[in-house]
Amino acid sequence: MSVMGKLNYFLGLQITKFQHGRFLSQSKYCRELLKKFDMENCKEDATPIVIGCYLDTNEKGANVDQTKHRGLIGSLLYLIASRPNIMFNVCLCARYQANPKESHYMAAKRI
């Protein structure tokens, strides 16, 4: 094996070594995720989901491409590694992968 240098970025995790330990971050992964779903110019929100939001399987509205919705949910599930505060909301949106409506997709994009 050869030495390839310092480990800075591995599997979506940025690794920074300090004198007293290491710091893991997924900020680069978040930026790539925003770029992938055309959300680079979106504005931040204080909460990851609307307070009092009620999602249902029988929502009325336009159907959304399942692969696009599943890709977003999968990316958010990977993001949970460093952001456990969004776990409940991502799992709530993940329930509706079989027949996603526009409201489900918009809730996932808000996260």
Task: Specify the number of domains making up the chain.
Answer: 1
Place of tokens 């930026």: 31
Write down the pLDDT at residue 26. 81
Average pLDDT rounded to a whole number, residues 17-43: 85
Q: Where does residue 59 rank: exposed (0-12), middle (13-18), buried (19+ CB within 10 A)?
A: middle
> What tokens were used for 78?
């990977």
Q: Does residue 12 lie in a domain region?
A: no
Contact assessment for residue 14 and residue 6, using Cβ atoms and an 8 Å cutoff: no
Contact assessment for residue 12 and residue 29, using Cβ atoms and an 8 Å cutoff: yes
Q: Where are the alpha helices (DSSP H) in 13-98?
A: 27-36, 66-79, 87-94
Range of the domain at 62: 31-110
pTM above 0.85, yes or no: no
Average pLDDT rounded to a whole number, residues 32-40: 88
Average pLDDT rounded to a whole number, residues 13-30: 83
Q: Does residue 9 lie in a domain region?
A: no
Q: Does residue 93 lie in a domain region?
A: yes
Whether the predicted pLDDT of 49 surpasses 50: yes
